[in-house]
Structure 1
Amino acid sequence: MMKLLKYCLFFLIIGCVSCETDKNQKNNYFPTIEVKNEERQLKENEKHFEIELFLKVLKDDIFECFYTTEGMNEGFSGTKKIRTKVFGSVEFQKVTFSLPKNIFPSKFRLDIGENYKQDKIYIKDIIIKYNGNSIEINSELISAFFSVNRFLKYDETIGVFITSEINEKWDPFIVSSALLNKKIEIEL
């Protein structure tokens, strides 16, 4: 009962209080994400914020990462984005977005595909890295830490996004939630 109260408090103040759980115990109501210190040390002037996606797409595509640096009210723009080509494969692959040196985003958006014929997009993990620390988000936690727009449906049991066209429009993307943004600010 006390542990559940701690989890509720954690989510209410959006990451301002850290809770620790026994790694052998699973709690399906309030999943946690794991923060790891990497062994390598980065030089102070070589800090790079990275977002790694472990995904599978069957057709070639273009993915984009938009980010803001001026706070939560700043909108996304084409001047702060990174594009990367993703090759269709039946195997999972790693796609990495490396923001420019010393940029720490206040929020970010992942546009997961420009190919209208891309039906399903499988994302197994999203790993966010900065200054030797990382946050891992597995497929079961994506919906807790990202908002999905209306052009996507997400099945967390198998980690698949299904794209759809609405009124002849199509723009599938996910946006980091306020909870994730605060967690990144505190832990990275």
Structure 2
Amino acid sequence: MKKQFIFLNLVLITLFISCKNKEEAKPVEEVKANTFDVIVDLKIEKDDELILFYKDPSIAYFDAKNTVYNGVKGKPESQQIIFSVPEGILPNDIRFDISSNKEQNPITINSITLSFEGRVFKIAQKDILKYFTPNDFIKFDDSTGTATFFKKGEEYDPYFLTKEIIYPQIEMVRGVKM
């Protein structure tokens, strides 16, 4: 009987210590990288994949290696899509591929925001054409912020390139002294 009592006490003490240790263990929060972000507030009705191409001073042209893909679920209301450039890379130029879905409805862009380490530059809907140029697959109405897409035969590649006027703003967000 004494052996059973000791065994039972050992089991209870082990359980008590085990449970106490579990309560004290706190989940480790994942530290989010401090990334250069491009936040696009838009209304997109059909699922799509949007792509942000970026260059830094060491890259001469946009290529598939320097991209951030973002699969988007279509919704009837506006949503924010965040493109985070990999940590340690500070782009000096971007290209925004606004649709990969050949059946996409017109998309309304409400704003585009560049952000890094608390420095922010927000481009309002009315100023999008001041900072970006749509390619030949897009007709953009700056009064409504609506991008309508066109196919050229089987080709479909709607994107916006930056204009030179945005470069000082990108440098300011990057924290580069001019």
What range describes the TM-score normalised by the shorter chain of this pair?
0.7 to 0.9
Which of residues 131, 135, 141 in structure 2 aligns to 1:155? 141
- The equivalent of 1:80 in structure 2 is 66
Using the alignment, how far apart are the partners of 1:62 and 1:187 within structure 2? Answer: 26
Taking the TM superposition and a 5 Å limit, the aligned residue runs for 1:30-109 are 46-70=33-57, 74-109=60-95
Note if 1:140 corresponds to 2:126: yes
The CA RMSD over aligned residues, in Å, is 1.8
- In the superposition, the TM-score normalised over structure 2's length comes to 0.76
Using the alignment, how far apart are the partners of 2:154 and 2:45 within structure 1? Answer: 23
Q: In structure 2, the residue corresponding to 1:141 is in which secondary structure? A: helix
Using the alignment, how far apart are the partners of 1:56 and 1:187 within structure 2? Answer: 25
Structure with more contact order per residue of length (Cα contacts < 8 Å, sep ≥ 6): 1
Note if 1:167 corresponds to 2:157: no
Using the alignment, how far apart are the partners of 2:120 and 2:88 within structure 1? Answer: 16
| Structure 1 residue runs of 4 or more that deviate by more than 6 Å after TM superposition | none
Which of residues 104, 114, 120 in structure 2 aligns to 1:118? 104
Provide structure 1 residue ranges, at least 5 long, that are not aligned to the other structure: 1-45
1:106, CA displacement in angstroms? 1.4
Structure 1 152/112 Cα, relative in aligned 2: closer, same or farther at 3 Å?
A: same
Structure 1 187/82 Cα, relative in aligned 2: closer, same or farther at 3 Å?
A: closer
Q: What letter corresponds to residue 109 of structure 2 in structure 1?
A: I
Using the alignment, how far apart are the partners of 1:119 and 1:181 within structure 2? Answer: 31
1:184, CA displacement in angstroms? 1.5
Which structure: greater helix fraction? 2
Provide structure 2 residue ranges, at least 5 long, that are not aligned to the other structure: 1-32
Of structures 1 and 2, the larger Rg is shown by: 2
CA deviations 1:120-174 (Å, max 9, x no partner) are: 0111011110111100101100000011101001001111000001233110000
